[in-house]
Amino acid sequence: MALIRCPLCKAENADGPACRRCKADLSLLFDLEEQRTWTVAEAWRLLAAGQLPEANWQAQVADWMRRDGESLRLFALTRLLRSDFAGAWICYQTLASLTSASGSNR
Ligand SMILES: [Zn+2]
């Protein structure tokens, strides 16, 4: 699971529901991250089952919840498999700008 950054003190938190530094309640952020993890897994399951429109939707939702390299690659893949080449290209360009801006693969 991804680290949750506290919106108050900016501390990275691996465990919740309270921030390790300032004790702010981060339970909603942890719930959202858990939902995103489920959504990514559901997108992969739907992809494996050949349900491309549904997989594409779940990938889009996961990317909306929190964008990172994983969600963008998944979203690009579901778009490619649906022959949405322009959409896949946009995902690729967004991923390239994300990785060059952060200097990492996140
Ligand atoms: Zn905090």
List of residues 6+ apart from 45 with CB closer than 8 A: none
Predicted TM-score of the model (pTM): 0.84
List of residues 6+ apart from 71 with CB closer than 8 A: 40, 59, 62, 63, 65
Task: Report the separation in Å between the CA atom of 23 and the middle of ligand 1, taken as the mean of its atom positions.
Answer: 6
The pLDDT tens digits of the residues spanning 69-101 come to 999 999 999 999 999 999 999 999 999 998 888
Domains of the chain and CATH, by start: 23-102 (1.25.40)
Q: Give the integer Cα–Cα distance in Å for 18 and 36.
A: 19
Task: Report the separation in Å between the CA atom of 17 and the middle of ligand 1, taken as the mean of its atom positions.
Answer: 11
Task: Report the separation in Å between the CA atom of 47 and the middle of ligand 1, taken as the mean of its atom positions.
Answer: 37
The pLDDT tens digits of the residues spanning 19-68 come to 999 999 999 999 999 999 999 999 999 999 999 999 999 999 999 999 99
Backbone angles phi, psi at 12, to 5 degrees: -85, 135
Residue 104 pLDDT: 52
**72 alpha carbon, distance to own chain's centre:** 7
